[in-house]
Chains A and B, each alone.
Chain A
């Protein structure tokens, strides 16, 4: 099981295209796109804020699918996909939660608005943390994977219910909306928007690839160590 631990061609291609895509997106968002009328340049935060939110949700969906597949097949690969995606998801969700208030403050003069999407993301963040806490609270690998997978399924299912409830709640008490609702998206803005979405999705894939490789290395080390003591 001595894998070749040098990065494969796919990994190199992914790394470089991610790098490129991020720079293109940065250029589009910061330079190419015209300044928004009502909000000014601060609005440029929006592109990577929403891109991060999208990746955060997508990562959680991967956790959901991987958890189900793990429970059905019991192949550890799926557990690896689940918890690596969870860790990456925390990073991006944290970005959303920090950039949201930074965007809101200069525009609506308040740090936290109970914006439905932002609030749902906050709960998502806590769900991610809960998932991590389950894993850290269990020693045996199999139990860890199984219990975390069960929670991963429950946690993902609650998110749409959450979003609906919070959205209806906020329509009763309208506040500042940290979304794109007030922004007319001109075509060049759409371009920047999709570019950042694409760049961050690639970034997610790149992080996944590296994390999975790290897990495989850990597995090999464990395997080698077991072999040594036999």
Chain B
């Protein structure tokens, strides 16, 4: 296999892992954000 292929492989894996983790964090945050807003709505509607 051409040496440059290894270079490409390494950098793509780095990219995949970092980007993937970033995406995962983003999804977690979005899900929690939704849940948080839902809860706040419920609490607000209860108290009013």
Contact = CB atoms under 8 A, between A and B. Distances in A.
Is there direct touching of A and B in the complex, by C-beta distance under 8 Å?
yes
A30 B25 CA distance: 28
B21 A214 contact: no
- B interface, by DSSP: helix, strand, loop or mixed? helix
Interface in B6-25: 6-7, 9-11, 13-14, 17-18, 21-22, 25
A210 B7 contact: no
A41 B13 CA distance: 17
Contact of A52 (B14, B21, B25): B14
A217 B6 contact: no
- A interface, by DSSP: helix, strand, loop or mixed? helix
B22 to A, nearest CB: 8
B7 A221 contact: no
Contacts, number: 79
B32 A218 contact: yes
Contacts of A2: 40
A135 interface: no
B21 A207 contact: yes
A61 interface: no
A48 B21 contact: no
Contacts of B4: 41-42
A49 B11 CA distance: 10
Interface of A: 2, 5, 30, 40-42, 44-45, 48-49, 52, 88, 91, 94-95, 98-99, 102-103, 105-106, 203, 207, 210-211, 213-214, 217-218, 220-221, 224-225, 227-228
